[in-house]
Amino acid sequence: MKAAVFHKMGDISFDTVPDPKLEAPDDIILRITTTCICGSDLHIYDGFIPQLADMVVGHEFMGIVEEVGPEVRKIKKGGRVVVPFTIACGNCFFCQQGFHANCEHSNTKNYGPRGDLMKEKGGALFGYTDLYGGYDGGQAQFVRVPRANVGPVVIPDGLEDEQVVFLTDIFPTGWSAVKWGKVKPGDTVVIFGSGPVGLMAQKSAWLHGAERVIAVDPLEYRLNKAKTVNDVDVLNSEDDDLIQKIYDMTDGRGADVAIDAVGMEANRTFFEKAKAVINVEKGTAKVIDLCTQAVRRSGTISVVGVYGSPYDNFPIHRIFDKGLTMQFGQAQAIMYIDQCFEMVRQGKVVLDDIITHRLPLSKVSDAYDMFKNKTDDCVKVILKPGLDN
Ligand SMILES: NC(=O)c1ccc[n+]([C@@H]2O[C@H](COP(=O)([O-])OP(=O)(O)OC[C@H]3O[C@@H](n4cnc5c(N)ncnc54)[C@H](O)[C@@H]3O)[C@@H](O)[C@H]2O)c1
Ligand SMILES: [Zn+2]
Ligand SMILES: [Zn+2]
């Protein structure tokens, strides 16, 4: 089959690889109809999350079930499913509490309680490096989906791929961000990052009754997208008065909830990059710092942007002084996918209005380049293996 293969930093190509096969009795094989590139894929592409061997990448996908193992119960051959990005057993201590990204059984080689830099990581993710289980991803014509009784959700006829494909990751991620922020009716929510995840967090904040949603991003075209599709207030992160403007919009207090939908690859000055080299840091925690400033005292910060490094000068003093609550981590995609699906099914939210590019899978190298460099006003790319036939 053909698939997007990561070789080394900046090098993902459309290659021929072996077809996936059923390996366990609860596996399925999926023929991918739609797959997407995520900001998280960029951390591998940019070398921020290390991967030494070649690997089929991609964790956002849906498709048609081609083969089912003998112990697969809820899914039938020929069905259409969307697959959450985490691979989980569904039974362990963490899965039973809805923390499937911490599954004790899916990442057999590198799982552990310590959460170190290069070992003892969390549960497995599709196409997300050997550290996270070494499973092939779904930017491919076909993919093996392990633990198929747990993650995949059957999509009924009448809903197009584009309406539901973001249930695989970014909508439940935006939803998790808002749940973790404990957003309640009347709240003001400031969301850093107006990429795909930030846009989904904006939608989720409205769905949870927020009174005001403020989007922050350095890119005007992404702020315009946020205004158009989500009717939010916008502020440019390069604005010297950014934090004061947030105070001015919130009676001088700060937002009730701040969400980091940027992560460690936030825009940086030359000086900030040099400091990171000296401190042996990958990227920056500057958006977390901005969140601690922008949120009100006793407020909540929710971090879904990815971090893969410790940071010097982490603003722990301010977190203490303001009495902040923080939650970080991989989204609870499996836990929230049904709730999120209901929002779509009942027409309470539209997700596909963020798509800017639809390309055949064979264009995957160009697509990564465009999404990374934010050219052609790119917000979200979906790849269609079917367009190559
Ligand atoms: N926790 C999870 O389970 C989960 C799931 C999906 C994605 N993510 C992460 O969410 C983050 C965003 O993903 P995405 O797909 O939207 O990626 P993206 O790269 O398209 O979006 C990031 C946005 O942040 C903006 N930005 C850069 N510096 C900024 C700053 N200082 N202030 C405000 N905005 C700034 C960029 O211009 C861009 O629009 C990534 O770190 C990704 O890995 C996490
Ligand atoms: Zn993703
Ligand atoms: Zn588990």
**pLDDT tens digits, residue range 10-54?**
999 999 999 999 999 999 999 999 999 999 999 999 999 999 999
What are the C-alpha distances in Å from 319 to residues 17, 104, 141, 249? 48, 31, 46, 21
Contact in structure between 15 and 3 (CB atoms under 8 Å): yes
Q: 10 Å Cβ neighbour count for 281? A: 19
Nearest CA to ligand 1 atom 29: 266
Nearest CA to ligand 1 atom 17: 39
Sort strands 381-384 and 357-360 into parallel, antiparallel or unpaired: parallel
Q: pLDDT class for 74, splitting at 50, 70, 90?
A: confident
Q: Rounded CA gap, 152 and 5, in Å?
A: 23
Q: Rounded CA gap, 329 and 308, in Å?
A: 11
Q: How far is the CA of 199 from the centre of ligand 3 (A)?
A: 29
Q: How far is the CA of 132 from the centre of ligand 2 (A)?
A: 14
Q: Rounded CA gap, 214 and 143, in Å?
A: 38
pLDDT value at residue 206:
98
Q: How far is the CA of 297 from the centre of ligand 2 (A)?
A: 31
What are the C-alpha distances in Å from 299 to residues 134, 177, 187, 332? 38, 14, 11, 22
Q: What is the pLDDT of residues 163-183, one digit of tens each?
A: 999 999 999 999 999 999 999
Q: How far is the CA of 317 from the centre of ligand 2 (A)?
A: 32
Ligand nearest to the CA of 104: 3
* Max Cα-Cα span within the chain: 61
Residue that has been written with the tokens 């922020």 in this structure: 181
Taking ligand 2, which is a single-atom ion, which protein residues have CB atoms under 5 Å away? 38, 40, 60, 169
**Does residue 299's CB lie within 6 angstroms of at least one atom of ligand 1?**
no
Q: How far is the CA of 236 from the centre of ligand 2 (A)?
A: 24
Helix, strand or coil for residue 367? helix
Q: Is the pLDDT of residue 185 over 90?
A: yes
**Does residue 58's CB lie within 6 angstroms of at least one atom of ligand 1?**
no
Best of 49, 173, 197, 268 for a ligand 1 pocket test (most atoms within 8 Å of beta carbon): 197
pLDDT value at residue 177:
98
Q: Of all atoms in ligand 1, which is nearest to the CA of residue 371?
A: 20
Question: Helix crossing, 196-207 with 170-180: angle to 10°?
Answer: 50
Helix, strand or coil for residue 119? coil
Helix (H) or strand (E) holding 206: helix 196-207
Ligand nearest to the CA of 261: 1
Sort strands 28-36 and 142-145 into parallel, antiparallel or unpaired: antiparallel
**Does residue 178's CB lie within 6 angstroms of at least one atom of ligand 1?**
no
Contact in structure between 340 and 172 (CB atoms under 8 Å): yes
**Does residue 161's CB lie within 6 angstroms of at least one atom of ligand 1?**
no
Q: How many helices (H) and strands (E) does the chain have?
A: 11, 18
pLDDT value at residue 15:
98
Over range 121-133, report the average pLDDT.
98
Q: Which two tokens stand for residue 385?
A: 């293996």
Nearest CA to ligand 1 atom 21: 195
pLDDT value at residue 365:
98
Ligand nearest to the CA of 202: 1
pLDDT value at residue 95:
98
Burial of 223 (0-12, 13-18, 19+ CB in 10 A): buried
**Does residue 267's CB lie within 6 angstroms of at least one atom of ligand 1?**
yes
Q: Which two tokens stand for residue 254?
A: 């700060």
Contact in structure between 69 and 27 (CB atoms under 8 Å): yes
Q: pLDDT class for 389, splitting at 50, 70, 90?
A: confident
H helices present in 250-363, as ranges: 270-278, 286-294, 316-322, 333-345
- The full length of the chain comes to 389
Q: Of all atoms in ligand 1, which is nearest to the CA of residue 329?
A: 1
